[in-house]
């Protein structure tokens, strides 16, 4: 029995396997309805506040389109143009917004900020990315894997690169919750924290998921169904980090050679945005600085038939819609 109404959505650690499955099933249903033109605007007269302290394309658009499709209103709050932080505390903001909105989305820095928001808010708070976690992304990733392979059972996902940040942490949690084998492949200092690993090991024992931490890419990707990576320097991290990251993470780049060593039917996934070429301002600047044409993934892999990245991006909207509906309907 799933009890999701009125809950916060801060990390997948707070949800059971059954509840995560419920979100995925609901997202699949809403996706089919959207494709067939069947309206599902059941949340008319409800409103959601969208706070973004970091930039976004997918998450913001997903929340806005999802809210619109559900019949809701949405208000985007950019801290540069609001009182948040500089003139008004998170606790006060939470209480002000709770009086006007039916839910609050927050994207920003430390997980403790979204927790503080949830503590003082009387309406559900949804984490749209913090330094530590990115739980709505993981629902999209799980839906994408399930759509592609028809099942999540007996799947192995390998996360390459910076595994100690929001994406590595959250994918580890999502995989162990759903019984998917998860391997973090990185230099040891980029493995998820010991504390989180311990929590995930306990969950893996219950679900039967295998959890591995590997420094050798060739060993890690053996029999993998999904090779996943993310940018090496995340939003909010100092630009000076690039030098060190390129040096230590280049051996973990996802390229055609590595994909060859994975399972025969292995697919490539990435939360995006990605530095797979030098067509972005940062990609160009860093590409010139380090003499590289791509960083965490090469362009041929990104553009290949094995790449699910744009399906994954679309699924952000369907899964975010499922979260809003499950918490509010
Ligand atoms: N994957 C993701 O969260 O993308 P945005 O930063 O564009 O929202
Ligand atoms: N690790 C990345 C994820 C972007 C969706 C970041 O935090 O910038």
181: β partners: 156
Residues 93, 97, 98, 104, CA torsion sign: negative
Q: Give distance in angstroms: CA of 23 to centre of ligand 2.
A: 22
Q: Which residues contact 16 (CB under 8 A, 6 or more apart)?
A: 177
Angle CA(269)–CA(134)–CA(79) in degrees, nearest 5? 125
Closest CA to 54 of 111, 106, 121: 106
| DSSP conformational letter for 47 | E
- The per-residue pLDDT for 1 is 59
pLDDT class of 189 with cuts at 50, 70, 90 = very high
The SS3 call for residue 77 is strand
Give the pTM: 0.98
Return the active site residues: 107, 134, 137, 230, 271, 316
Does pLDDT of 157 surpass 90? yes
Q: Are 54 and 108 in contact (CB under 8 A)?
A: yes
Q: What is the DSSP string of 115-147?
A: HHHHHH-SS-EEES--SS--HHHHHHHHHHHHH
Q: Which residues contact 185 (CB under 8 A, 6 or more apart)?
A: 158, 159, 160, 161, 163, 214, 215, 216, 217, 220, 221, 252
Q: Give distance in angstroms: CA of 42 to centre of ligand 2.
A: 32
Q: Is the CB of 232 under 6 A from ligand 2?
A: no
Q: What is the CA radius of gyration of the chain?
A: 19
The residue nearest atom 7 of ligand 1, judged by CA position, is: 57
Report the run of H or E that residue 176 belongs to, with start and end: helix 166-177
Number of helices (H), then strands (E), in the chain: 13, 9
Q: Give distance in angstroms: CA of 119 to centre of ligand 1.
A: 25
Report the run of H or E that residue 157 belongs to, with start and end: strand 156-160
Looking at every residue in the chain, the average pLDDT score rounds to 97
Residues 142, 144, 147, 150, CA torsion sign: negative
| Percentage above 90 pLDDT, the chain | 96
Residue among 59, 141, 190, 235 whose CB has most ligand 2 atoms within 8 A, to mutate: 235
For residues 150 and 168, give the distance between their C-alpha atoms in angstroms, rounded to a whole number. 24
- The per-residue pLDDT for 129 is 98
Written as six digits, the tokens of 190 are 């980029």
For residues 140 and 157, give the distance between their C-alpha atoms in angstroms, rounded to a whole number. 15
Does pLDDT of 81 surpass 90? no
Written as six digits, the tokens of 15 are 């949800």
C-alpha to C-alpha distances, 58 to 88, 175, 207, 290, 314, nearest whole angstrom:
27, 22, 31, 28, 8
pLDDT class of 86 with cuts at 50, 70, 90 = confident
Q: pLDDT for 269-316, tens place per residue?
A: 999 999 999 999 999 999 999 999 999 999 999 999 999 999 999 999
Q: pLDDT for 224-248, tens place per residue?
A: 999 999 999 999 999 999 999 999 9
């Amino acid at each position: 029995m799933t009890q999701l109404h009125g809950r916060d959505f801060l990390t997948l650690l707070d949800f059971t396997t059954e509840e995560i499955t419920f979100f995925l099933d609901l997202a699949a249903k809403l996706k089919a309805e959207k494709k067939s033109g069947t309206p599902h605007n059941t949340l008319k007269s409800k409103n959601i506040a969208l706070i973004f302290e970091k930039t976004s394309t997918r998450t913001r658009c997903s929340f806005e389109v999802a809210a619109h499709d559900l019949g809701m209103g949405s208000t985007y709050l950019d801290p540069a143009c609001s009182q948040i932080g500089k003139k008004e505390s998170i606790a006060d903001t939470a209480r002000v917004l709770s009086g006007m909105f039916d839910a609050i989305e927050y994207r920003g820095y430390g997980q403790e900020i979204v927790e503080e928001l949830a503590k003082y808010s009387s309406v559900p708070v949804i984490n749209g990315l913090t330094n530590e976690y990115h739980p709505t992304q993981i629902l999209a990733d799980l839906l994408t894997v399930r759509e592609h392979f028809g099942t999540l059972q007996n799947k192995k996902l390998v996360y390459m690169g910076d595994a100690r940040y929001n994406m590595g942490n959250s994918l580890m949690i999502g995989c162990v919750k759903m019984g998917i084998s998860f391997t973090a492949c990185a230099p040891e200092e980029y493995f998820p924290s010991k504390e989180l690993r311990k929590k995930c090991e306990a969950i893996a024992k219950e679900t039967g998921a295998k959890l591995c931490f590997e420094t050798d890419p060739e060993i890690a990707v053996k029999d993998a169904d999904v090779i996943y990576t993310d940018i090496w320097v995340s939003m909010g991290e100092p630009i000076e980090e690039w030098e060190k990251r390129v040096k230590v993470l280049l051996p973990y780049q996802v390229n055609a050679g590595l994909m060859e060593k994975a399972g025969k039917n292995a697919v490539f996934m990435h939360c995006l945005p990605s530095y797979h070429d030098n067509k972005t301002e940062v990609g160009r600047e860093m590409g010139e600085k380090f003499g590289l044409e791509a960083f965490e993934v090469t362009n041929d892999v990104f553009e290949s038939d094995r790449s699910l990245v744009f399906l994954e991006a679309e699924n952000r909207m369907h899964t975010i819609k499922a979260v809003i509906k499950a918490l509010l309907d």
